[in-house]
Chain A
Amino acid sequence: MPVLEIRDLKKYFPIRRSIKEFLTAKPPKFVRAVDGISFSIEKKEIFALVGESGCGKTTTAKLIMRLLEPTSGSIIFNGNDITKIDEKEYRKKVQMVFQDPYASMNPRFRVYDVLEEPLLIAGIEDRKEREERIMKALEAVKVSPPGEFVHRFPHQLSGGQRQRVAFARAIILNPEFIVADEPVSMLDLSVRAEILNLMEEIRDKYNVTYLYITHDLSTARYMSDRIAVMYLGKIVEMTNSDSLVEKPLHPYTKALISAVPEPDPKMRGVIKEIPVKGEVPSAVNIPSGCRFHPRCPYAFDRCMKEEPELKQVESGHFVACHLY
């Protein structure tokens, strides 16, 4: 049974109408941030959700974390619809790590307070027990010796250390599932691997399943077992990471991959071929048919009229494109 299952999840944000629009009774417009996505994540899997800004990946994370309510569709955790699960229990099992290691902690809280908060909310009354668990969590993320760090403020830690503390906060209640939203994109290069390796360690030691959200295909490939590519609120391709990078099927995925620079100077001077035109349109005016068609070099008639479904074309490899 998969740990997490998303079924046809949708989240629309209404846009405030101007008086004029209100008076002329124009239908309300929506930002269709997440427009019907489905996937499932197996235990101890690292599942990456990749896409550019505005594709809906962060909104998906918030829906899973119950920070937002879905417009429609369902999220199933360990076989149960999350709206039926007690919120407190759910939050113990599903945790999140944020992108900005500095902003995700109250600058007036010491490390001890940051880590104590989830324990207090979970109702752990015994002070000694809390202290023990905090120390253990810090050890687990290799912030050592813990005694030296518990009294520090976030601004007294390096970026890498802060993100470690963020992970400590995430694992302190022994969750089953962690949503990691761009956990390394604000860290220095030399520190990223540290955190990525830590994530793997946590998975191995604590049997945690990950949803790894990023715009960086390279780290997605490095970290994850499977990748789903999102575009304008929909999943356009989904498969295991090696296949995605070696044999991308969707034109958008191909464009993404070809756009990734690599430290290979032999490619310098050659103006890259980026097989895509223009920029991502606004999520308010989503193109008809296949939402990628205005930019797609392979678009044909059908693409403008009919929205393609996410279909399995090879074993475990799903694409939403009329070419297949």
Chain B
Amino acid sequence: MSILSVNNLKAYFLTIRGAVRAVDNVSFSLEKGESLGLAGESGCGKSTLGYALINLLPPPGKIMDGRILIDGVDVTKLSEDELRKKVRWKKISMIFQGAMNALNPVYTIGYQMSEPLIYHEGMSKKEALEEAKRYLELVGLSRDVVNRYPHELSGGMKQRVMIATALILKPTVLIADEPTTALDVIVQAQIINLMKKLKKELGISIIFISHDLSVISEIADRVAIMYAGKIVELGSSDSVYLKPKHPYTQALLRAVPRIRGKKEKLAFIPGAPPNLIEPPSGCRFHPRCPYAFDRCMKEEPELKQVESGHFVACHLY
């Protein structure tokens, strides 16, 4: 059974101007020990999806429809209390964007890491601190970081602390929202290495959200490409990166500059992502798609399997 299963999820932001359909009918599943990359540009809904999974949508966001099954339990139906006690951080935890700034500057690292242990597991302060030290080592930091304050650490170190804190209750699913975006390239590589190591050693499933396709390819087993609130392509990294089917994916891959290999002319996609309050009719990508034809303007394509394990939402198939 899949560890995480999302069915027809709709998460909208109910603003005065109308409902922003940030996540519009998204379905996918995540197996144990698997890492899924959610890739897309700004405004495609990937971060919103991440927040929806852990039910932390900032107001005026709301889950309108759909189910999120974690270990078979539909978490959209649980009360806030139950979510807090049983699901969040214990089953599924999250590393937020710009997480380095999520650390409280007036408390030591040890104090902040111990909090979930004391609250959820009922550990004593001493036990919790010991566990915190263990996890710090796990993420490659020295044990005495427990006594330091956030401002004494570098960006990379703080990110490691956030990862350790997210793992400390041994969740089965970890959502990482742009965990490397604010970091320098060498530190970024170190963090990616760390996550690969953790995936192997702890066997956790990771949902890796990023706009950086290269970073996702390093770590994800499967990739979902999102556009305008929908998943347009879903498949194993191999198939999506090497044999992209959706025009958007193809264009996106051609827009990534490569450092190695032959220098090729970079492509770009003319136009801009659509307004999510009133998205285009039919296929949301049709105004920018070089292959768009009649049907694309009228009918929204479904996410269909075109090869084993490779799904595309496009009328070309």
Contact = CB atoms under 8 A, between A and B. Distances in A.
Question: How extensive is the interface on chain B, given as a class?
Answer: 35 or more
Nearest to B251: A190
Contacts of A268: 217-221, 237
B259 A218 contact: yes
A50 B192 CA distance: 22
Interface stretch (B104-112, B169-177, B182-190, B295-303): B182-190
Given A188-B41, A263-B256, A193 B268 contact: yes
A279 B218 CA distance: 21
B268 A269 contact: no
A279 B266 contact: no
Name the 7 nearest CB pairs between A and B, nearest first: A259-B189, A193-B266, A193-B268, A265-B237, A52-B184, A190-B269, A188-B41
12 contacts: A188-B42, A190-B268, A191-B268, A191-B272, A192-B255, A196-B266, A259-B186, A261-B189, A261-B218, A262-B258, A265-B238, A266-B238
B260 A245 contact: yes
Interface stretch (A5-13, A72-80, A130-138, A270-278): A270-278
B255 A189 contact: yes
Interface string B210-227: 011111111111000000
Contacts of A173: none
Contacts of B272: 158-161, 191
Contacts of B197: 271
A271 B196 contact: yes
Interface string A161-190: 100000000000000000000000000111
A264 interface: yes
A191 B273 CA distance: 10
A196 B264 CA distance: 13
Contacts of A266: 238
Contact of A53 (B184, B192, B242, B263): B184
A222 B219 CA distance: 25
Given A259-B189, A271-B196, A218 B258 contact: yes
A96 B257 CA distance: 23
A256 B188 CA distance: 11
B189 A279 contact: no
A228 B138 CA distance: 36
B267 interface: yes
Interface string A233-267: 00000000010010000000001111111111111
